[in-house]
Structure 1
Amino acid sequence: MLETELKQLAGELRLKTLGLYKMANAGHIGCSMSCLDLMIGTLVKQKRESETFILSKGHAAVALYICLNYLGEISDDTLQTFYKNHTTLPAHPAPNKHAGIPFATGSLGHGLPIATGIAKANQLLGADLLTFVLMSDGETNEGTTWEALHFAVNNQLDQLIVLIDRNRLQGFGQTQDILGDSADPRKYEAIGAEVHEIDGHDIPAIIQTVEHLRSQRNGKPKVIVANTVKGKGISYMENRMEWHYLPMSADLYEQAQKDVTETYQLSVEHVH
């Protein structure tokens, strides 16, 4: 897919993500916008059949639902049940309802240990399959992150790809001010992982990086530290912690649609 087409897709999926959040009057918008491009580059464009993708930062569930809808795994009708009673699409991903959501996530620190176990199982089976897990940088504060990574290094799980959405904001402020920069690439290199630091909004670069890592059988788990912007594409949300929580008013929703349409050079017909 051409770079211009990828940019248009990023814009279109942002508009759908905004629409779902507005319909439900729900928060966690900023964190979905920071990792949506990472999902497009991996889940949408690189994950193969029988491979596993786990969204460990489950509060960005809407971005996951929108990508699975694009892939045809979640229907348009089901998407409209988001956040409603008896839905299979709650605020955080729930398991056993959709093939693309194999585990419940949202309680941070569990996605990487699960992905590490899957990668180990594939290694034992001799299966040529990647396991992707997308984490937040705040989530790297969790002790389970480091236990799982040490296990992955010791077991030479070189088909494990860990994506870290490094937007430098977490629930209570700047990550640097909470427990320090636990998403610093040097930390992962020091324990023996293969580390790549990239622009988490450059979808062609994300795709190219994953394509390169597919061929790397060097005994090292792969960590992609993706520098991102919380609220990417929406002027009043970018780098603002409160948009981890707040829903949009009608006026702010209109402004968000305008920002995305202009930034991603979409035609008016894309806005519903």
Structure 2
Amino acid sequence: MTELERRARDMRVDIVRMIAEAGSGHPGGSLSCVDILCALYFGGAMEHDPQNPRWEGRDRFILAKGHAAPALYAALAHAGYFPREELMTLRKLGSRLQGHPDSNQLPGVEVSTGSLGQGLSIAAGAAAGLALDGKPQTVFALLGDGECQEGQVWEAAMFAAHRGLDNLVAIVDRNHLQIDGDTADVCDPGDVGAKFAAFGWSVREVDGHDIPALVEALRAAKAERAGRPCVLVAHTVKGKGVSFMEGQAGWHGKAPNAEQLAAALADLGAAEKKGE
């Protein structure tokens, strides 16, 4: 197991533990995007500084699929933005770790998200602002594939291509499931990459659980700067890493009980610690 793979495994352990402790949350889509966040925050694909979260030279990351906040919180804690022990306060009264990310509460969160469809618009606006100011930083946005059923996503896609925002990189967590079932059955987004290409975007397809491939694809997308935005369609498995959650829409927004937590930790190669 490589260092980045171990990091991703430990992030998954933290995710299932914090959601079980909270008694609510979204494990499926959090687990599916862990390797993407690991590549961004620890693979050198994104410039950021945990000691100076508002550093002007940072790249920006926007979690459009805000319900996957546990994955972002795990990445931020592992990176050193706040103590890892704080993860166990998820969704508790007075916690900075709310059910969806709150930029007023937590360092490292660029913008409050959770209303699906809005994240890419925010990211496009941020990218446009940086471009107008002649700044070289890149804006990354992580979307869900169910989220791509929202019309606002495609308005933002049209705007970003029209403005030639080649400092914008979107990543679609293509796990094929949403709260109501398979995306193809709910409102089929079809070939997501082809749709973005039709809107004038550069498109890359990648295995969303192959961390070296993700790092390479993210770095290439960031460096491309070909006068158009870029999207990575990351093919993932909802609930990745926990056998009974994998590919199950029912684990979109349900916390594991004590027995399920123990089974999940066993899958991930981690033993439950009493008192945690």
Range of TM-score over shorter length: over 0.9
Amino acid in structure 1 at the alignment position of 2:216: Q
CA contact (8 A) 2:237 2:247 kept: yes
Aligned residues: 265
Cα separation, 2, equivalents of 1:17 and 1:197:
26
Candidates 2, 5, 9, aligned match of 2:3: 5
Aligned partner of 2:47: which letter?
R
Matched, 1:140 2:135: no
Q: Write the deviation string for residues 40-81 of structure 1: whole angstroms up to 9, x where unpaired.
A: 111333221321101110111111111000111122353332
Matched, 1:155 2:154: no
Q: Is the 8 A contact 2:25 2:254 kept in 1?
A: yes
Shift of 1:98: 2.2
Bigger Cα displacement from structure 2, 36-45 vs 148-157:
36-45
Find out whether 1:117 has 2:116 as its counterpart.
no
Deviation at 1:183, TM superposition (A): 5.4
**Out of 158, 172, 175, which is 1:167 matched to?**
175
- d(CA) in 1 for partners of 2:191 and 2:156? 15
Alpha-carbon distance in structure 2 between the residues aligned to 1:83 and 1:170: 21
Q: For structure 1, which runs of at least 5 residues remain unmatched after alignment?
A: none
Conservation of the 8 A alpha-carbon contact between 1:22 and 1:247: yes
**Cα deviation, residue 148, structure 1:** 0.4
Q: Which AA in structure 2 matches 1:249?
A: N
- Deviation per CA, 1:140-181, whole angstroms, max 9, x where unpaired? 011110000100000000010000000000121110112212
TM-score, structure 2 normalization = 0.91
Q: Distance in 2 between matches of 1:180 and 1:76?
A: 38
Q: Which residue of 1 aligns with 2:20?
A: 22
Answering whether residue 213 of structure 2 is matched by residue 205 of structure 1, we say yes
Write the distance in 2 (CA, Å) between the matches of 1:218 and 1:98.
34
TM-score, length basis structure 1: 0.93
Report SS of the residue matched to 1:164. Answer: strand
Structure 1, 213-222 or 226-235: larger mean CA deviation: 213-222
The answer on whether the counterparts of 1:137 and 1:182 sit within 8 Å (CA) in structure 2 is no
* Cα shift at 1:270: 9.2
Post-superposition offset of 1:13: 1.1
Specify the code of the residue in structure 1 equivalent to 2:165. Answer: L
1:55-134 maps to which residues of 2 (within 5 A)?
55-134=63-142
CA distance in 2, matches of 1:209, 1:77: 32
Give 1:84's aligned amino acid: K
- What residue identity is the alignment partner of 1:19? R
- Distance in structure 2 (CA, Å) of the matches to 1:112 and 1:192: 15
Does the 8 A contact of 2:64 with 2:116 survive in 1? yes
Q: Superposition RMSD on alpha carbons, in Å? A: 1.7
Deviates more, 1:158-167 or 1:211-220: 211-220
